[in-house]
Amino acid sequence: MERVRFGSSCLVFNAMISGLVTLFDRIKDRLASPADATSDALLEIFMDYIDALKIDLYPAQEEGILALLEDHNVILNTPTGSGKSLVALALHFKSISRHRKSIYTSPIKALVNEKFLDLCTRFGADQVGLMTGDATVNRDAPILCCTAEILANIALREGSSAEVHDVVMDEFLLEVQLRELRLSLE
């Protein structure tokens, strides 16, 4: 199989990962405890996974992954199809490796549902939950996919005691734009 760039070719990518060991299996096999989840160890495991998929990273992906694994916040503003999802995957990987809860959120329910299925494939269904206005599945999983409204409700209800360690906000700019539009129409 030839090496590919990870971008918008999700169908090709999903075909490539079928039959591969999940990222969660790699964590269990290579890390005895969260204390072993150093930035260097995580980078090695994650890059082995990327290499097994025969993916070449774009510079923005490399920089984003390295920054996340070094515990920095990242805002990735790149064009559609440039592989932001792979950087987000690295955050979920880091979070679950350190026994932390991560959340994928978007204001668009269809994206949340799509990401739920994708993350189930990569980490195993028992590691991923879903909360939208229509459905709740495995809500206490270490990785939770939810709409932005659900995350906002969690934050309002639980405040600083909410079990939320790491968040991937997809289409965040869209959420801000929609909010501004609503305010201008009022």
Q: Do 1 and 36 belong to one domain?
A: yes
pTM for the model stands at 0.82
The string of pLDDT tens digits covering residues 30-76 is 888 888 989 999 999 999 999 888 888 999 999 999 999 999 999 88
Q: Is the pLDDT of residue 181 over 50?
A: yes
Q: Which H/E stretch holds residue 27? A: helix 23-30
Q: Do 62 and 111 belong to one domain?
A: no
pLDDT of res. 18: 46
Contact 3, 18 (CB under 8 A): no
Which of 50, 68, 99 finishes a domain?
A: 99
pLDDT category at 23 given cuts 50, 70, 90 is confident
- Percent of the chain scoring above 70 in pLDDT: 81
Q: What is the pLDDT of the chain when averaged over all its residues?
A: 83
Contact 129, 137 (CB under 8 A): yes
Q: Do 78 and 109 belong to one domain?
A: no
Contact 146, 105 (CB under 8 A): yes
What gap in Å lies between CA 6 and CA 105, rounded to an integer? Answer: 21
Q: For the domain that residue 159 is a member of, what is the CATH number? A: 3.40.50.300
User: Which one has a higher pLDDT value, 29 or 1?
Assistant: 29
Q: Do 93 and 131 belong to one domain?
A: no
Q: Is the pLDDT of residue 11 over 70?
A: no
Split into its structural domains, the chain has a count of 2
Q: Do 2 and 94 belong to one domain?
A: yes
Q: Do 116 and 38 belong to one domain?
A: no
pLDDT of res. 104: 96
Q: Mean pLDDT across the stretch 85-104?
A: 94
Which of 99, 127, 149 finishes a domain?
A: 99
The alpha carbon torsion through 89, 90, 93, 99 (nearest 10 deg) reads: -120
Q: Do 126 and 162 belong to one domain?
A: yes
Q: Do 105 and 90 belong to one domain?
A: no
Q: Do 73 and 116 belong to one domain?
A: no
What gap in Å lies between CA 154 and CA 132, rounded to an integer? Answer: 12
Q: Do 15 and 87 belong to one domain?
A: yes
Q: Do 93 and 137 belong to one domain?
A: no
Which of 99, 117, 140 finishes a domain?
A: 99
The three-class DSSP label of residue 39 is helix
pLDDT of res. 55: 87
Q: Is the pLDDT of residue 3 over 60?
A: no
Q: Which of 24, 110, 21, 5 is nearest to 62 (CA)?
A: 5
Q: Mean pLDDT across the stretch 181-185?
A: 66
Domain residue limits at 147: 101-186
